[in-house]
Amino acid sequence: MSLGPGDSLTSHNFGLQIDGVMVEYLTEVSGLTMEQDVITSMSNTAGGQKETAVMPGVQKSGQCTVVRGMTASPAFTTWINDSIAGQMSTARKNASIIMMDYQNTPVKRYNMRNAWCSKVDASSLKAGEAAALTETVTIVFEELEIE
């Protein structure tokens, strides 16, 4: 690993991989969230003292938002269309957000199991504006594993 003691990863070296294929023209990943229920168990000791134990509960599904340049990428577009059409047998894919060091060596991965697109938002179109078109995609997933 090329990170030295005290070095941190930078926010501009990242990638998104869906079923082993890197997504191109990615500009932003945000809102990566996953939550787990908390179980609180209260009891009394033999001496009558209140005792509280906190345990992990069921992991909830999560989501993240991806912004990418609007391209004619057939694989990404097919995945979005399958998700929106409810073709879950082909829409559910494993995906990873990959954090890289300054030499583009993968250092940390957020692996999302059974990920699919739940929302697509195209950027605004304005006559005379010189701006890149983007699409914002919300990805939901069933389980998150951090490597």
* 128 three-state secondary structure: coil
CB 32 within 8 A of CB 108: no
The predicted structure's pLDDT at residue 6: 67
> What is the mean pLDDT, run by run of 10 residues, along the chain of 147 residues?
66 87 89 92 93 93 93 86 94 94 87 96 91 93 93
List of domains in the chain: 14-146 (2.30.110)
pTM across the whole model: 0.83
The predicted structure's pLDDT at residue 3: 63
The predicted structure's pLDDT at residue 142: 94
* 79 three-state secondary structure: helix
CB 57 within 8 A of CB 45: no
CB 112 within 8 A of CB 19: no
CB 117 within 8 A of CB 79: yes
